[in-house]
Structure 1
Amino acid sequence: MRLHAAGAVALALVAPAMALANRSSPLVVGLAALLFLAGSLAERGEGRGASPLRFLAGPLSTPLGLAVLAFLGWSVASLAWSPFPVLWGRVLTEFLPTLASAFILARLAPARLPGWALPLAAILLAASCLYMAGSLALALAPQIWLGQRAALFLFNRPLLTVLLLAGPLAAFLALRGSRILALALLAVAAFAILRSISGAAALGLLAGCAMFAVGRLLPRPAALAVAALVLALAFILAPVEGDILHRAMPEAAHERLTQSSSRARVAIAQSFGAAVAQAPWIGSGYGMSARFAEVPAAQVLEPEMRAMLAVGHPHNSFLQIWAELGLVGAVLGALVGFLALRAAAALPRLLFATALGVFGAMVAVMFVEHGAWQGWWTAGCGAAITWLRAAWAARPAQDNA
């Protein structure tokens, strides 16, 4: 069907669209989701296939679906104590439509992707990586020619999207018998990431490789235990991250990490951690990080700490969940992660290891980088899950390797 083919093209365009416009993935993923939904509704209208709406509603009654709904429900409920309701609504209206689009895409696209969608996506992702690496090597000359902003961090978001997509696409290629092409795609993606200034992408690459090895080499229960421990530690350590780093990081480490503004990041983490201690149970309200210096929990802090709260978010999604949604939000968020890991346990070995690799990269990036509710990150995660599910749907019936 033409609508499905157009949706497949849109899905394949996520990486190059981000390379050209580094906040574009919510729009591209949203378009892809609408095209697959329209195609599925057209199929239903012609008497072919089950109801897509019923198919979409099915997962919401599973433990994972109920946990996600509970987390979203708590986020909505926090309006009752949010000091800035307009900000609450503005952040939620960016996050929720992107999350819905990612969910629709991950549910409807995998079984409807044409055979050419995988090679197209792999080629476009590799071309995007070469474009970004080449632009960096040329001191961003292409961006200057195009009249874009010439800043070295311009490709940080696109390369974090590449980090999410490269593993699932490579695993899909390997399952199709194209192992050499899969390795080449991973090599190109790693080259672009390491060529950039994005420390978060490099850390995510390292963590993703480590978790892939865990999933590939350890027995499945042991691999799941390692992944669950990583997630638990991310939530447990988030409120005290700043204090730990303040005591543990030597001055020499800060000197080597000047490009990453490590001193400021430690101070920001300390400030948000101190604010968490003032509202530990229910937090200060969803989306409040953008004006966190003004929330009631921040008013008892020292002036220098309140100044660090004005950055907009703590550069740690787990800490942001604690600060905005409290212990309840952290428990619900962790529950979503644990149940997602349990769902990944049903995948064949290669896809299971790939899912753990993507999980490791996500956790590493979320612990050091962007705000929790940014649409481009949610869209990238949704696209990565879509390709993982597509690889699972297309695998040979006897393949459990």
Structure 2
Amino acid sequence: MVPGRLYAAGAALLASMPLVMALANRSSPAVVGLAALLFLAGRASEDRAAAGRALAGPLRTPLGVAALAFLGWCLASLAWSPFPAASFRSAGEFLPVLVAAYVLARLAPGRIPAFAAPLAAAAIVAAGLFVAGSLAAGLPIQKVLGQRIADFVFNRPALTLSLVAGPLALVLWRQGRRLPAFAALAFSALGILRSVSGAAALGLIAGTAVFALARLLPRRAAIGLCGLMLGLALALAPVEGDLLERVMPEAAHARLTQSSSRARVAIARSFGAAVAADPWRGAGFGVAPRFAETPVAARLEPDMRGLLAVGHPHNSFLQVWAELGIVGAGLAALVSMLTLRTLSGAAPAERATALALIAAGTAIAFVEHNAWAAWWTAGLGAAITWLREAFRLRQASLLREAAPRPPSSLDRTAP
């Protein structure tokens, strides 16, 4: 198959992801994996050496080295994991999707056909309408298919929308497609706010607020604000439960009954106690589903052990601390800060969109899901791919503006 057709197929898959997730809420890893394979095949058929350089080059930068060191520590922790099968299962879910997301984000930008962004906007519009309509009608399609009838079935699609919509809208804006850009933002917000996912709504609020601030504040202040937010998210994760226990009023718990706020606070306190009992190396990568059976759990007070069996701490930063200790948390902080440093030279709109994506992801990760969930990794990979495409379009625009113009007839006849 010629490269153009491979790129078109991969781009169509990438564009369809929001709608496919709304129809099947665990589908994004397969979509991203297939799209990455198609772009890899296309780039390799064009120039295998160039494709290799595109993939290997970033790994030699400080950010790439830090990311590899973090992954190396994850793998090293398998040596002391009390449940190797659980650790390998988590690694087997997370690492292949991470590789696919990296391949897609590195190889797709610059090879995404022009039709893909409007198609993705249409997919977001359809996904937002499908989520809102299905919930309003009582999930009729799920009933017909014999699927589980629960409002939270759309939480993962809503979280995916909160990641993808902003970067895609910037791509559309750079292409001169203003109406599809606004439609993508509006209908993603519809799906997010109509869903029962408080985490997705929190991500939408955080992303919107940081985008606005990043457009108003000087470059260093905007990046510093995000750095402070990320640093606090990591530093406060082990004591999150104790802090919320002391400062969160009963009225707030009453309003957040649907979000199980009391249980979340108790879960955070239990995992925080586990971090305090073993702060250095952690219990081992991917052991969260069996954390209640780990040796560190046996050292805790009985009233702190029960909620360790929930599967994960509902805070990705706290999960990193509990599984990977202070070394893993430190490496995660280093990766975060180096990522922010790469945005210092970006154009204002691209920088603001990237910071908004970081803010949305941070807010969601602080309150929701397993850190190594494949669907989450795939959603981040898709969002970064669209963001890098927007960066590329901006760079191409600057190059066109800087290119010398051919002389016109007036130039030739001028005295």
**Same fold per superposition (TM over 0.5):** yes
Q: CA deviation at 1:147?
A: 2.7
CA contact (8 A) 2:290 2:309 kept: yes
Distance 1:116 1:135 in 2: 28
Structure 1: 5+ residue stretches without partners: none
Give the equivalent residue in structure 2 for 1:26: 29
**Per-residue Cα deviation, 1:301-330 (whole angstroms, up to 9, x for no partner):** 122211100001000000000000000000
For 1:1-400, what aligned pairs fall within 5 Å after superposition?
A: 1-44=4-47, 50-395=49-394, 396-398=396-398
**Per-residue Cα deviation, 1:221-275 (whole angstroms, up to 9, x for no partner):** 1101100000000001100000000111111111111101111100000000000
**Per-residue Cα deviation, 1:155-209 (whole angstroms, up to 9, x for no partner):** 0001100100000111111122223332222111111111111100011110001
Distance 1:183 1:368 in 2: 28
Distance 2:134 2:346 in 1: 38
CA contact (8 A) 2:288 2:311 kept: yes
Q: CA deviation at 1:296?
A: 1.2
CA RMSD of aligned residues (A): 1.3
2:398 partner SS: coil
Structure 2: 5+ residue stretches without partners: 402-415
Distance 2:346 2:28 in 1: 27
Count how many residue pairs are aligned between Structure 1 and Structure 2: 396
User: What amino acid does structure 1 have at the position aligned with 2:38?
Assistant: L
1:207 partner SS: helix
Identity %: 62
User: What amino acid does structure 2 have at the position aligned with 1:330?
Assistant: A
**Per-residue Cα deviation, 1:4-38 (whole angstroms, up to 9, x for no partner):** 11111111121111111111101110000000001
Q: CA deviation at 1:347?
A: 2.1
Distance 2:13 2:370 in 1: 25
Distance 1:217 1:179 in 2: 21
1:101 partner SS: helix
User: What amino acid does structure 1 have at the position aligned with 2:398?
Assistant: Q
Structure 1 stretch displaced more, 62-71 or 118-127: 118-127
Distance 1:239 1:198 in 2: 24
User: What amino acid does structure 1 have at the position aligned with 2:221?
Assistant: A
Q: CA deviation at 1:331?
A: 0.6
TM-score under structure 2 normalisation?
0.93
CA contact (8 A) 2:121 2:183 kept: no
Distance 2:341 2:86 in 1: 34
Distance 2:392 2:259 in 1: 40
1:22 partner SS: coil
Q: Runs of 4 or more off by more than 6 Å in structure 1?
A: none
Higher radius of gyration, 1 or 2:
2
TM-score under structure 1 normalisation?
0.96
Distance 1:176 1:54 in 2: 28
Distance 1:185 1:213 in 2: 18
CA contact (8 A) 2:131 2:194 kept: no
